[in-house]
A and B are shown apart, each in its own frame.
Chain A
Amino acid sequence: MPNKPRPQILVTGAAGALAQQVIKQLSDTCDIVAVDFREQVDLGNKVPSYCIDFNKRVFEDLFRRYQFEGVIHLGRVQSSELTRMRRYNANVLGTQKLLDLSQKYGIKRVIVLSTYHVYGAVAYNPALIDECAPLKSAGLSADLVDSVELENLANLYLWRYPELNVTILRACNIVGPGVRNTMSRLLSSKVAPVLAGFSPMMQFIHIDDMADAITLAWQKTTKGVFNVAPHDWVAYQQALKLCGCTRIPIASVPPVLPKTIAKILRLRSFPHYLLAFFKYPVVIDGRTFAKEFNFTPKRSLSEIFRYYRDNK
């Protein structure tokens, strides 16, 4: 009996640590093609890697050359990177192109990595926000509009083209070795700013656990929108303490003051448009994903913080 051909998967955001971890996990059972619009990454002989802007016509050549069965879109540009316009082009227009091509070339499974930032940080947020909660972020900061727009697009394709089997994963703070996002930079720094008098509850997921979650999502074709977060919580300032960071309080009232300070300092790890996330909690409920995909994070918060403390 002939062997079943290995599925081919396109993984975007290949320059990121998470994508590389996912590629590593899926390489045993699938043929991976990696793409990143920022840089070309060397992923060894077995994984072809490309540096292509999704909005360029040559991007379609990848779909012509390979018989992709699935697309794992991890290439969302974070809000701390690039300019607002370039981010919009990459995240919104680029994702639209990716989804259009996925539909045109009969892709059977699409996984889109989103972020809990889409819920927005406001004082009136309840805890354990579920997937049906409104996405307030777009109304709070123009710098987060592209993240919400990306989700809206993915949602549109989820319902308009059910054959794509789109799954959107709204992850909490992804941290751990190699992660270069805002939160990971803060936890790995020796001194970290905090808003005086505020220490919101936060959730952290280890990069390996997040890669496990994406792999599980690939293995089971359940479409929909899911929060991904462990059922464990810690206050921001306590997390910094456990990572061995010295906390530098920034005046928090009136609200214009910390915003001005953040704008002047232009810290990549403490951008002014994310200040509300260091003030008010955005605690998401990841139980639906855990139940549906039988997902249990393996790395505890203590293990995550120990890594940062030991690697200062």
Chain B
Amino acid sequence: MGLASFIRSKLISTESDNQIDRIEKPIGTLGYDPWGFNSDMVKMGMGLVRHVYEKYFRVETSGIDNIPAEGPVLIIANHSGQLPLDGILIGYALANRKVKPRLPRAMIERFFPTVPWLGNMLNEVGAVLGDPVNCAKMLENDEAIIVFPEGVRGSGKLYRDRYQLQRFGNGFMHLAMKYNAPIVPVGVVGCEETIPAIANIKPLAKALGVPYAPIALPFIFPAKVHLNFGKPMYFGGSEIPEEQVTERVEAVKSEINRLIDKGLTERKRLF
């Protein structure tokens, strides 16, 4: 037995194998889609994340059934914790949903494709370069897409700014309106405490070509994570001025703020 087969046998259980197989995906004859999604890698990824999700971060979700069972949908969440752990946990929660699970796609920062191994690995488990064309094509494919409108402003923020939502881009709202896709807001609580950063060394980040270079312990803390999914929000597809688009984005932001507050209130302890 080769190393790859050994890892595969250890990570993929029959249960998770069946769970992924019953989710329909528009893939080609060799199990790939145009963005690099690969069903075999997703199965291995699910096996790996299961332990992290259940045992390490002990994730509690509420309202996961608010995500429609089919059709295009944008899952909009707050971003935090230096690494895209929040996206992975939201993705796993939906893929592991008992009734009508879905394998969502996550839009990732533009620098990831330039990182050897990591970029490819993220693509294989469903992450996609955060580009409006990609998002539009996937909505056409009726995909569920996780978007963090704060981008690196959210994931790279310091611990002292935790749970303070940064500026949201308007791009996701334009796409939701164009493709008539509902928006499901998500409040993520706990990821801020996984890699608390006290400073950002901007010159180093610039030299390395990465969005930020945080000063933090080289350790991911096992903070307990709460994922609160809100009710789907529907926005009409009519042409409206940018000012009104921003108002709609602010409405989504307020809802996410409310869901974060709910999670913070429910949280009994950090770890």
Contact = CB atoms under 8 A, between A and B. Distances in A.
Contact of B32 (A125, A128, A201): A201
Contacts, number: 73
Given A126-B134, A233-B28, A300-B29, A197 B120 contact: yes
A233 B32 contact: yes
A312 B29 CA distance: 23
Contacts of A125: 129
Given A232-B30, A302-B29, A196 B137 contact: no
B29 A232 contact: yes
Interface in B123-155: 123-124, 128-129, 131, 133-134, 137
B159 interface: no
B131 A198 contact: no
A26 to B, nearest CB: 29
B228 interface: no
A301 B119 CA distance: 24
Contact of B34 (A127, A300, A301, A302): A127
Contacts of A233: 28, 30, 32-34
B32 A234 contact: yes
A61 to B, nearest CB: 47
Contacts of A196: 116
B30 A127 contact: no
A294 interface: no
B116 A128 contact: no
A235 B129 CA distance: 16
Q: Which of A127, A252, A302 has most B Cβ within 10 Å?
A: A127
B254 interface: no
A126 B28 contact: no
Contact of B35 (A201, A232, A253, A300): A201
Interface string B11-53: 0000000000000000011101111101000000000000000
A197 B117 contact: yes
B110 interface: yes
B119 to A, nearest CB: 8
A128 B120 contact: no
B116 A201 contact: no
B110 A123 contact: yes
B113 interface: yes
Given A199-B120, A231-B28, A301-B28, A280 B34 contact: no
Interface string B87-123: 0000000000000000000000011011111111001
A276 to B, nearest CB: 11
Q: Which of B111, B113, B123 has most A Cβ within 10 Å?
A: B113
A291 B85 CA distance: 41
Interface residues of A, number: 27
Contacts of A280: 113
Interface string B38-79: 100000000000000000000000000000000000000000
B169 to A, nearest CB: 16
A235 B34 contact: no
Nearest to A124: B110
A252 B32 contact: no
Interface in A151-209: 195-199, 201
A111 to B, nearest CB: 26
Interface in A281-308: 281, 283, 300-302
A198 B117 CA distance: 6
A238 interface: yes
Contacts of B32: 201, 233-235, 238
B116 A252 contact: yes
Contacts of A124: 110, 113, 129, 131
A301 B27 CA distance: 13
Contact of A281 (B36, B115, B133): B36
Nearest to B41: A235
A234 B131 contact: no
Contact of B116 (A232, A253, A300): A253
Contacts of A238: 30, 32
Contacts of B129: 123-126
Contacts of A198: 116, 119-120
Contacts of B115: 197
A142 B33 CA distance: 31
Contacts of B137: 126-128
A54 B124 CA distance: 46
A287 to B, nearest CB: 11
Given A199-B120, A201-B123, A302-B30, 11 more contacts: A124-B129, A126-B134, A127-B134, A127-B137, A201-B35, A201-B36, A232-B29, A235-B124, A242-B30, A283-B34, A300-B29
Interface of B: 28-30, 32-36, 38, 110-111, 113-120, 123-124, 128-129, 131, 133-134, 137
18 contacts: A123-B113, A123-B114, A124-B131, A125-B129, A126-B137, A127-B34, A127-B36, A127-B134, A128-B133, A128-B137, A197-B116, A197-B117, A197-B120, A233-B30, A234-B30, A252-B116, A283-B35, A301-B28
